[in-house]
Amino acid sequence: MNSVLPVGVIGLGRMGTIYAGHLARHSKSQIVCISDLIEGRAQATAAELGVESWSTDYRDVLENKAIKAVFVTSSTSTHREVVMAAAQAGMAIFCEKPIALTLEDTDQMIAAIEGNGVMFQAGFMRRFDSGYVAAKGQIEAGAIGEPVTFKSIGRDPFCPDLGYADLNVSGGLILDMAIHDFDLGRWLVADEVKRVYTEGGTLAFPQLNTVGDIDNAVVNMLFEGGALGNVEVSRNALYGYDIRTEILGTEGGLNIGYYQQTPLLIMTTRGISHDMVPYIIERFGDAYLAQTRDFVERVLNDREPAVDAYDARAALVIGLAARQSYYEARPVELVEYS
């Protein structure tokens, strides 16, 4: 077993920069090469993190024989091509969610992963957040009995760049954003989703209509075992980043998440106020770090992934069905995607 994992990072947007920073500061990983389509960003990130090799072509990362694992954090629309090439290169792969935009692409990726015998882990960082980890432990210990309802809220504090919101790039609000909540539902309830029904619309940012996206959606879910689910996602929580989940069981309930970044109430004659969690890194920074280190440890110790390609596929199916439900204004049975 090697004591340090040589890695590459492909895609240096918001997520890629987060992962690259964690990898550069981890004693058990060493970034050998990074790539990004924007030359200045690749060069600047390499200089900042002390990485000797950088490129604008992801294939330069995959052709580097020193690299044993790669983080694929480029646009979702590129994942199929990059992951399949990385699998053929024999590298362990970490891929941000969603791992693809279609089931056809996903199944081709899985075939390449299994055909080349490489380890693959999907990026669902909420599974590594201390609150969600504790909740999973309580459910498994029987603290709340059998889960009967699952409610998850995901609200972003601003409208994304239209280039990112494009359904052909990220998958849009339901597929890209709510997929975290769909994965949590499967994980916490420990059951598969049977049916979904979605209502949504462009209620705050009409410019999203130009790329086919929406800014608010509510997805009702029925699990195979009879439990009920509800996922709300929004682009217009202008007050801050709002991520919360509730699970009600036959013997109790769990609430996960918080509004405030600091546990401080400011009390004056004008009233009581407090700050808000501004965005993703302030809320889930520790979870991204834990997820990164978990992957490195698993590759170094030849262990199975924490979240595999089939977990990612299952969450994608829920997202595709939920999006179809919105566009067709009807309940969609997930068996339609089997």
Could you tell me the CATH number of the domain that includes residue 39?
Answer: 3.40.50.720
Q: Is residue 109 part of a domain?
A: yes
Query: Are 27 and 135 in a shared domain?
Result: no
Domain of 195, in residue numbers: 127-283+315-337
Residue whose C-alpha is closest to residue 35's, from 13, 6, 68: 13
Asked if residue 70 belongs to a domain, the reply is yes
Per cent of the chain over pLDDT 70 is 99
Query: Please, are residues 214 and 172 in contact by the beta-carbon 8 Å criterion?
Result: yes
- Structural domain count of the chain: 2
Choice among 83-92, 115-124, 258-267, 304-313 with the minimum mean pLDDT: 258-267
Q: Is the dihedral of CA 105, 106, 107, 111 positive or negative?
A: positive
The reply to whether 309 falls in a domain is no
The residue type of 78 is T
Neighbours of 191 (CB within 10 A): 17
**Which residue's structure tokens are 């890695």?**
7
Q: Is residue 235 classed as helix, strand or coil in its secondary structure?
A: coil
* 295 located within any domain: no
Mean of the pLDDT values across residues 132-153? 98
Domain boundary among 118, 136, 152: 118
Instruction: Name which of 110, 202, 101 is nearest 159 in CA terms.
Output: 202
Instruction: Give the span between the Cα atoms of 327 and 186, in whole angstroms.
Output: 24
**Which of 118, 136, 158 corresponds to the end of one domain?**
118
pTM for the whole structure = 0.95
Q: Is the pLDDT of residue 74 over 80?
A: yes
Domain match, 70 and 12 both: yes
Is residue 228 assigned to a domain? yes
Both 219 and 108 in one domain: the answer is: no
On average, the pLDDT of the chain sits at 97
Residues 194 and 222: beta-carbon distance below 8 Å: yes
| Residues 177 and 320 occupy one common structural domain | yes
- One domain, residues 216 and 99: no
Is 333 within the bounds of a domain?
yes
Say if residue 6 is preceded by a cis peptide, omega within 30 of 0.
no
Reported as a single tens digit per residue, the pLDDT across 2-48 is 799 999 999 999 999 999 999 999 999 999 999 999 999 999 999 99
Judge whether 289 lies within some domain.
no
The token duo for 68 is: 């044993």
**Statement to judge: residues 98 and 209 lie in one domain:** no
Mean pLDDT of 169-192: 97
Q: Which of 66, 94, 118 is the last residue of a domain?
A: 118
Longest dimension (CA), the chain: 67
Q: How far apart are CA 146 and CA 184, in angstroms?
A: 16
Nearest-angstrom CA–CA distance, 312 and 325: 20
pLDDT beyond 90 at 1: no
Question: Is residue 147 in a domain?
Answer: yes
